[in-house]
């Protein structure tokens, strides 16, 4: 097993360039909808998404709605943010589409060994630092800011069907968690049977300091200019470093030996179109900004009494009721569909899964 495979399977083991700082927490599924309040506010989304987080999620949710959510499926009570990725489907032998079970996070059991069990869904990382003229690295002791209230971020490109070596592409990946033998990481959907697939998204962490969103939902954010997609110094155009967010979404694929028939909701059979969205719903931005200093490093954890975002108490990550009922639409959750929701055509070929 390659060292890269080991590290990719366990992001907590990846080396930090900045001062020590990381925390992570589990989230349970909230809802599966053809909704996207960032890209398609107030209207049906282009494809189905799997969503975790705050109970205020809806097609028309405002920036104020998220932090005022009554509840969250995540283990940190003051995080009412929403996070989502495209739902994964399976093409049956009769050509119909069935949903692949989205798990969020589950506990180990006799049937799910510890190394295969999803243990976290959201990582908050100290990986980037502010721009300054001539700056080429991040100094120990530097901390990024908390995402500002109302910030919305989109990572990845749902229309990609081939690999390119950009930061945006490299920030999306899949880990095939095998029932036995080594796990492996690819940017494409896996090309072998997997007990579970972990879809991973690393959000851009450099902010322009002005806009909470932008017309294309991307230009107000950037990946670092010096370093890599997941570490380094922010560019002059986006000089403000914010906490890096890394998502893990788990799908139960144990029953699908025909890996080539897995397809994302937007019709993508390659996996290169993996993308993710974030709506900031933290109810205490100052507490989040102090989390690396009070909840990580040395003996400090989320369970520490002085941890600014938990006060030493995590809540159970579990399902919660939506405040706005999900739109009534058949998404294939109960029975297979003749077409993907939104009538998205299947594009790309499994043979294109080369990276």
Task: Supply the pLDDT for residue 348.
Answer: 96
Task: Supply the pLDDT for residue 180.
Answer: 81
Bridge partner list, 177: 196
Task: Supply the pLDDT for residue 20.
Answer: 54
Task: Supply the pLDDT for residue 3.
Answer: 29
Question: Cα(first)–Cα(last) distance of the chain, in Å?
Answer: 17
Task: Supply the pLDDT for residue 241.
Answer: 99
Q: What gap in Å lies between CA 328 and CA 1, rounded to an integer?
A: 46
Pair 202, 174: CB distance under 8 Å:
no
Per-block mean pLDDT, blocks of 10 residues, the chain (355 long): 35 36 93 98 98 98 96 97 98 98 64 50 95 96 96 98 96 93 94 95 99 98 97 98 97 95 98 98 98 94 97 94 97 97 96 88
DSSP structure string for 312-333: T-PPP------SSPPP----SS
The sign one gets for the Cα dihedral 69, 71, 76, 81 is negative
Residue 41's CB is within 10 A of a number of other CB atoms, namely 14
Of 218, 327, 196, 214, the closest CA to residue 275 belongs to 218
Task: Supply the pLDDT for residue 1.
Answer: 31
| Element containing residue 292 per DSSP (H, E) | helix 291-295
* Pure H helices in 59-203: 167-170
Task: Supply the pLDDT for residue 77.
Answer: 98
Task: Supply the pLDDT for residue 216.
Answer: 97
Of 243, 229, 225, 233, the closest CA to residue 144 belongs to 243
Phi, psi of 6 (to 5 degrees): -65, -45
């Amino acid at each position: 097993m390659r060292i890269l495979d080991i590290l990719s399977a366990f992001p907590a083991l990846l080396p930090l360039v900045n001062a020590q700082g990381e925390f992570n927490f589990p989230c349970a599924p909230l809802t599966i909808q053809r909704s996207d309040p960032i890209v398609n506010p107030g209207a049906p989304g282009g494809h189905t998404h799997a969503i975790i987080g705050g109970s205020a999620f809806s097609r028309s949710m405002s920036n104020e709605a998220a932090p005022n959510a009554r509840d969250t499926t995540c283990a940190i009570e003051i995080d009412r943010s929403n996070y989502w990725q495209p739902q994964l489907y399976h093409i049956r032998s009769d050509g119909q589409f069935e949903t692949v079970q989205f798990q969020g996070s589950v506990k180990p059991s006799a049937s799910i060994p510890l190394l295969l069990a999803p243990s976290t869904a959201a990582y908050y990382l100290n990986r980037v630092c502010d721009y300054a003229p001539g700056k080429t690295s991040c100094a120990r002791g530097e901390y990024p800011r908390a995402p500002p209230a109302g910030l919305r971020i989109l990572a990845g490109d749902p229309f990609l069907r081939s690999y390119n070596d950009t930061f945006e592409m490299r920030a999306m990946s899949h880990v095939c968690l095998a029932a036995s033998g080594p796990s492996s990481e690819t940017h494409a959907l896996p090309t072998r049977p997997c007990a579970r697939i972990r879809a991973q998204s690393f959000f851009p962490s450099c902010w322009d300091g002005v806009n909470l969103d932008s017309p294309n939902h991307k230009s107000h954010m950037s990946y670092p200019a010096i370093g890599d997609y997941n570490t380094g110094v922010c560019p002059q155009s986006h000089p403000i470093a914010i906490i890096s967010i890394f998502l893990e979404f788990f799908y139960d694929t144990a029953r699908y030996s025909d890996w080539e028939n897995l397809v994302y909701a937007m019709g993508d059979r390659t996996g290169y179109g993996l993308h993710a969205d974030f709506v900031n719903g933290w109810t205490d931005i100052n507490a989040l900004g102090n989390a690396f200093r009070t909840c990580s490093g040395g003996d400090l954890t989320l369970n520490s009494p002085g941890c600014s975002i938990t006060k030493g108490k995590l809540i159970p990550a579990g399902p919660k009721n939506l405040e706005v009922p999900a739109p009534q639409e058949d998404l294939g959750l109960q029975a297979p569909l003749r077409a993907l929701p939104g009538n998205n055509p299947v594009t790309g070929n499994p043979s294109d899964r080369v990276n």
